[in-house]
């Protein structure tokens, strides 16, 4: 099932980060086995002028996937905007995953700075993928500015806790039925990714859960299969939960035994 982001159709709803892998070969294998369609990259590492940075950028290019630069580690509007402009030059794309971090322990987005930075970047021609919370008011402001994608967190970055606020994510989906939603951050297990897709999310962005697994390539493939299963289940229209039991075998026509 293809997904469209800013007019670009992606063959897979899985987006993978490129940091923390044990080796370049394992990173490439994770992309190959999962068939991820997007690679997120951080300018602060990949733009390095040393040979290691250049080799890494060549590896990312060889993956033959869409590149989504990010402003990871930025804590102010100025820092995020400057990093985004540099990333556009280095990676030759108007796509930017916009992060403005506001709290150190949870790495929670600074929603005020996020909105301000998004406004500036959209006016400068960027296609912004904002890393945000499930807050409906913030989401509405971002969409009103011109964001055609929202990337709510599931849980704090790298925590592996899964979906901390299912109600909030479900409400976000209901309020913005036409906006692509990408769960970004906090997933640790394929089952959590399946749950997100069952809620109607459009894609999943992962890094730590794959890169730090005992077998990253195998874990990447497991996530890809779970995402497909969750997406298939959502399109099948799942049954609604009910408070009382309902027998799967009807009583009508059942033989009476004495």
CB of 19 closer than 8 Å to CB of 44: no
Verify whether residue 141 is a known catalytic residue: no
Residue 208 known to bind ligand: yes
Residue 196 known to bind ligand: no
- Residue of 3, 66, 78, 97 with catalytic role: 97
The pair of three-digit structure tokens given for residue 83, joined into one six-digit string? 């990093």
Residue 164 known to bind ligand: no
List Cα–Cα distances, 217 to 24, 35, 182, 222, in angstroms: 12, 11, 21, 9
Residue 220 known to bind ligand: no
Nearest to 183 by CA among 127, 236, 231: 231
Residue 154 known to bind ligand: no
Residues at the binding site are 158, 185-186, 207-208
Q: Which residues are catalytic?
A: 97
Residues at the binding site for 1-deoxy-D-xylulose 5-phosphate are 158, 185-186, 207-208
């Amino acid at each position: 099932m293809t997904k469209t982001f800013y007019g670009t159709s992606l063959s897979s709803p899985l987006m993978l980060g490129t940091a923390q892998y044990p080796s370049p070969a394992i990173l490439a294998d994770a992309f190959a086995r999962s068939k991820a369609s997007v690679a997120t990259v951080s300018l602060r590492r990949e733009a390095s002028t040393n040979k290691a940075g250049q080799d890494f950028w060549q590896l990312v290019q060889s993956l033959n996937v869409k590149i989504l630069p990010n402003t990871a580690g930025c804590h102010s509007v100025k820092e995020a905007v400057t990093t985004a402009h540099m990333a556009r030059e280095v990676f030759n794309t108007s796509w930017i995953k916009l992060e403005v971090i506001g709290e150190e322990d949870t790495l929670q987005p600074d929603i005020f700075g996020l909105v301000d930075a998004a406004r500036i970047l959209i006016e400068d021609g960027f296609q912004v993928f904002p890393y945000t919370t499930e807050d409906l008011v913030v989401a509405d402001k971002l969409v009103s500015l011109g964001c055609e994608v929202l990337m709510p967190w599931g849980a704090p970055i790298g925590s592996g806790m899964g979906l901390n606020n299912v109600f909030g994510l479900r409400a976000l989906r209901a309020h913005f039925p036409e906006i692509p939603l990408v769960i970004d951050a906090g997933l640790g297990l394929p089952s959590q990714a399946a749950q997100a897709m069952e809620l109607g999310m459009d894609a999943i962005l992962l890094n730590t859960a794959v890169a730090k697994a005992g077998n990253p390539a195998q874990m990447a493939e497991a996530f890809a299969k779970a995402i497909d299963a969750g997406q298939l289940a959502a399109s099948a229209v799942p049954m609604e939960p009910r408070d009382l039991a309902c027998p799967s075998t009807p009583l009508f026509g059942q033989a009476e035994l004495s």
